Amino acid sequence: MLLLLAGFFISTDFAQFENYSWKIIETNGNYIPREECDFVVVKDKFYLIGGRGINDVNIFDPKTNTWTSGAKPPVELNHFQAVVYKDEIYLLGAMTGRYPHEQPVANIFIYNPKTNAWRTGDEIPPDRRRGSGGAVVYKNKFYMVTGILDGHWTGNVPWFDEYDPRTGKWTKLADAPVARDHVRAGVIGDKLYLIGGVQSNAKENKGLANVVDAVDVYDFKKRQWTTASAKLLTLRAGNSIIVIKNELFVIAGESAKQRKAHNEVEVYNVKTNSFRTLAPLVEGRHAGGAVLYKGKIYTVAGVGNAGGAPLLKSIEVFSE
């Protein structure tokens, strides 16, 4: 059984993932290779959405392993974490434009899978616009956390904001302990977790130098941040995050440590405050996306090396 909580699929049937491995699968058709995109599940289909350029939404049916195409977004939307709310896909905190000066977009953008249509949502307050941060849903409200103001150039921020889709109201919350970008967030219970990311700074030619190892935690009930004593084992940014029960799977990414994109999969257990390592991907990748569906993790798209090339064309599945 799977439950949807805060935009993430959480398995109620815990498996011993130490026996799982990653496999590249054959598909009918293929997706448009892309980076700085995301991958989400809505009603038994997967949606590869956004990324550099203006590309179709690519739709994957796991029953038939078939790719089809949906509508293009109205503008280029990259560097975001997509969230699912009421069977629609919300893109908050996206950027548009080319490296290294991608600019934050002014609005939320929403894709409706049922109608295959995009619409422009509420405006993001001008003084809180940024991209490449985390985004989640918790108890029918959206939360945007950290990010960067000017593409990869400069302006990492620790900002944390709440958005109520029913009223359109934005509320500034307490800053996260560490500014970071190219990061994804996850929610377990009443807490938000930030793992991975980097403080991009092309202005000073630092690139991927300042990768973040801290696990920052926000308690929604206490309305305060803490930092866990555990540290990410393999430092990287542009990774995917999957939540399964009491654990966050940190999948792939990039760093200055190596030319190849990372293929590591490390799992943070919130109960034991510790990381463990699982089987690596077949192909290292960053800036793609991952979903959990019926006990399996699927990952697609992204880049095979640090930087912007080569774009990958495979889909991998983590299963027994």
Look up residue 304 and give its DSSP letter: S
pTM of the complete model: 0.94
CB of 270 closer than 8 Å to CB of 258: no
304 Cβ contact list (under 8 Å, min separation 6): 260, 261, 283, 284, 285, 310, 311, 312
Sheet of strand 117-123: strand arrangement: 81-85, 88-92, 107-112, 117-123
CB of 40 closer than 8 Å to CB of 301: no
Per the structure block, which two tokens stand in for 154? Answer: 């400069």
Helices in 239-278 by DSSP H: which ranges?
none
**Residue located via tokens 């930092």:** 227
Per-residue pLDDT tens over the stretch 165-221:
999 999 999 999 999 999 999 999 999 999 999 999 999 999 899 999 999 999 999
Beta bridge partners of 187: 192
Which residue ranges form the domains of the chain, and what is each CATH number? 2-35+125-319 (2.120.10.80)
Distance CA 148, CA 63 (A): 38
Distance CA 10, CA 32 (A): 28
* C-alpha torsion 151→252→188→298, nearest 10: 110
Distance CA 117, CA 111 (A): 6
Distance CA 164, CA 169 (A): 5
Distance CA 70, CA 60 (A): 11
Q: Is 17 in a helix, a strand, or coil?
A: helix
Helices in the chain by DSSP H: which ranges?
none
Please report, in tens digits, the pLDDT of each residue of the chain (320 residues total).
344 444 444 443 444 698 999 999 999 999 999 999 999 999 999 999 999 999 999 999 999 999 999 999 999 999 999 999 999 999 999 999 999 999 999 999 999 999 999 999 999 999 999 999 999 999 999 999 999 999 999 999 999 999 999 999 999 999 999 999 999 999 999 999 999 999 999 999 998 999 999 999 999 999 999 999 999 999 999 999 999 999 999 999 999 999 999 999 999 999 999 999 999 999 999 999 999 999 999 999 999 999 999 999 999 999 99
Distance CA 79, CA 95 (A): 6
Q: Is 128 in a helix, a strand, or coil?
A: helix
Per-residue pLDDT tens over the stretch 276-287:
999 999 999 999
